[in-house]
Each structure stands twice: as C-alpha cells, then as structure tokens.
Amino acid sequence: MRLVCKNTGEAFTFRTQEELRQWKYQRYMQRYLRCIQAVDDSVGALLSWLERAGLADDTVVVYTSDQGFFLGEHGWFDKRFIYEESFQMPLLVRYPREVRPGSVCADVVSNVDFAATWLDLAGRRRPPSYMQGRSFRPLLQGCTPGDWRQLAYHRYWMHRDAVHEAYAHYGVRDRRYKLIYWYNEGFGLPGTREGGQDREWELFDCETDPLELFNVHGDPSYAEVVARLTAQLEELMEEIGDEPVHERLLRAVQRVAS
C-alpha cells in the first residue's frame, strides 16, 4: 500500500497494515514530543528575558496545560480517561515573592481552582459567585488551610464519540485513592453514540498500585474507603449541580437496612 502525505508530498510504501499502524504511531508521537520541546524552549526563553529585564520577582509565571496525555500507556492515546496519565496535569508556578524555589505542594488542586487563584494574585480576594473553585494561593506559600478539600472531580460525558471511543464516566481522586463509575450512556447528547454497555465501579489504591492495574472496589478490606469516597462524590456532585447516574449511596444503604 502507498501513502502520500498531503502536507509534505512525501511518499511511503507499506507491506502490511501493521507497518502502517506502527508508522502512524511513531509519526504522531514524534510530532507531539517536538511540540512539547518547543513549549519548553519558549518558556525558558521567557524566564531568561524576565531575569534580564529585572521583572522576575514581580511576575507570576505559571506552567500548566490541559489534561495529561497517553503516549501508549494501557494501549491508549489522547486524554479523556480519568486514569493517572491523563488525569494528572503539570502545574509549576514561579513567583519569588511568595513561592519558595524548589518547594513541592502535595495538596490536591483542580483546574477549576485556577481562575480564583489568578484573581487572588491580581488583588481580587473574593471571586465572582458563579465561579467554581477556590484560590490555592495559600498552598503556594506553604500554608494549607485546615478546611482545604483534598479531592478532585472528573467527568467525561461524550460517550463513544466517533474518534476516541472513550466511554462516559465520572469519579473522584483524593491523595491516595481513586473512585470511578463507568455509566456508559450518551443520553442522546450531540457527539455521543449508543450507550447501554455494562456499568462498572472501579477503585484504585494509587499508593500501592500506581499503575492502576488492580480494581479493588469489591475487596472487603476497602469497604470503608468505598463508602467514604462514594459519599464525597455524591456531595461534590450535588454541590456543583452535576446529576449522578449511579444509585445513590443513601438509598442503597436504606434498602439493605430494610
């Protein structure tokens, strides 16, 4: 088989579909990594300019991104799953007046916290009431508030979209555990396809199983963790106005009790 690249006019010949698949993967990954390298180089140039201009101490520089990206882990690509490779996001902040160089924050921060934080750093302590999230400026200073919620929420609703085939799910992650519910329904929303696949819960102990290979949701030794995270998931969904698809924990407990 023969393939001609429309951007460059290069011609390639492949003996099998497997050869073509491997070539596409390598080309995709190489271009992606070149893009990352270009971003890194540009950030370095920006930091050097701020130093030369004498503005480094008065400038907040934030290095972050969209969701993380699978580079073949678990056989996947792109970024739509709640699993660690795509759930984690880079977040580096340089602000010499408030952030100690080399310090590492182990608290849970979500991208919905970004806007409130930027407003706080710009002098607006109280964000608009319509905004979700909370300023993590104290965390940058090494002072974690006692009521900081160590929990992040994720939902992907575009069930089986035509390109990625990712199934609809939601879940929460605290500093050790991750609870996921695969509800696998598109509800006829634009961009979704037919649902109805088997629904499933997953729980991962990200401390003992950082690669998320073992689902321990049905393990009796994790029953307390399941109950706690399910309750936190439901509380958070109610707070932000997201509609649960699973059977609510309270109803399930009441049914068992009766």
The predicted pLDDT at position 251 comes to 52
47 found inside a domain: yes
The Cα–Cα gap between 22 and 228 comes to 44
Task: Pull the structure tokens for residue 6.
Answer: 């429309």
For residue 12, give every residue at least 6 positions away whose Cβ sits within 8 Å of its Cβ, in sequence order, or none.
Answer: 2, 3, 4, 5, 23
Last residue of a domain, one of 55, 82, 100: 55
Render pLDDT for 16-58 as a digit per residue (tens, 0 to 9): 999 988 888 888 889 989 999 999 999 999 999 999 999 999 9
> Strand runs (DSSP E) across the chain, as ranges?
2-4, 11-13, 61-64, 70-71, 77-78, 91-94, 152-156, 169-173, 177-182, 200-205
The predicted pLDDT at position 252 comes to 45
203 found inside a domain: yes
For the chain, percent of residues with pLDDT exceeding 70? 95
Render pLDDT for 106-160 as a digit per residue (tens, 0 to 9): 999 999 999 999 999 999 888 898 888 999 999 999 999 999 999 999 999 999 9
The predicted pLDDT at position 9 comes to 66
Domain count within the chain: 2
Write out the residue range of the structural domain in which residue 10 sits.
Answer: 1-55
The Cα–Cα gap between 238 and 230 comes to 12
CATH number for the domain spanning 215: value is: 3.30.1120.10
Last residue of a domain, one of 55, 74, 96: 55
With beta carbons less than 8 A apart as the criterion, state whether 174 and 150 touch: yes
Q: How far is C-alpha 88 from the chain's CA centre?
A: 5
